[in-house]
Each structure stands twice: as C-alpha cells, then as structure tokens.
Amino acid sequence: MARLPCQWLYLDGFTFRWGRDDYQIDVLKGDAGATHDYDDKVASFKVADDWKDIKDLRYQARVWLKKLKSTQEIQRRKFEIEAQRARRQG
C-alpha cells in the first residue's frame, strides 16, 4: 500500500501514485482515482527524492511517459524492419 499522504495524477491514460517517503511511483492503468489498491498496477519506477508538490509528480510522470513512448517507437520500427525482410525473402 502506498504511504500517506499520497499524490495522484491522471495523465495520458495512466494514474501515477506517489506516497510520502516512497522512493518509487506506482503506475496504474486508466483513471484509477485516489486508490491505494494494486489491482490496476502496470508498472512502478524508482525516484531519487521525495515529492514536495504535484509538480514533482507531474515531472516524473512525463519523464516515464517519454521513455515509454520512445520504447514503443523502437519496437514499432523493429517490427517494420522485420516485416520488410520477411516480404523480401517470402
């Protein structure tokens, strides 16, 4: 369970939850609201510092989303390259 008090932020289809003195942020799918459950948890990531306000959570969430989108773009490109190779060979 996330420690209290918590910050929650809904951004780009995910709810980010960061408890006071927790050095990780939980990522939940969808708009989970202010929940302490782990039912919709899809990821968590470590952070170096505690939060001061919602701006800290917003910043960390955007960094995580940027990495996620970059990873998805790399995977998409690899798939396209492999599909092109298969068409040439097939």
pLDDT number for residue 14: 95
Report the C-alpha gap between 69 and 34 in whole angstroms: 25
**Measured distance CA(72)–CA(74) in Å, rounded:** 5
Q: In whole angstroms, give the CA distance from residue 12 to residue 20.
A: 23
- pLDDT reported for residue 1: 58
Please provide residue 77's backbone torsions phi and psi, each rounded to the nearest 5 degrees. -65, -40
With beta carbons less than 8 A apart as the criterion, state whether 42 and 27 touch: yes
Residues 78, 43: Cα–Cα separation, whole Å: 23
Give pLDDT tens digits along the chain (90 positions): 566 789 999 999 999 999 998 999 999 999 998 888 888 999 999 999 989 999 999 999 999 999 999 998 888 888 898 889 889 887
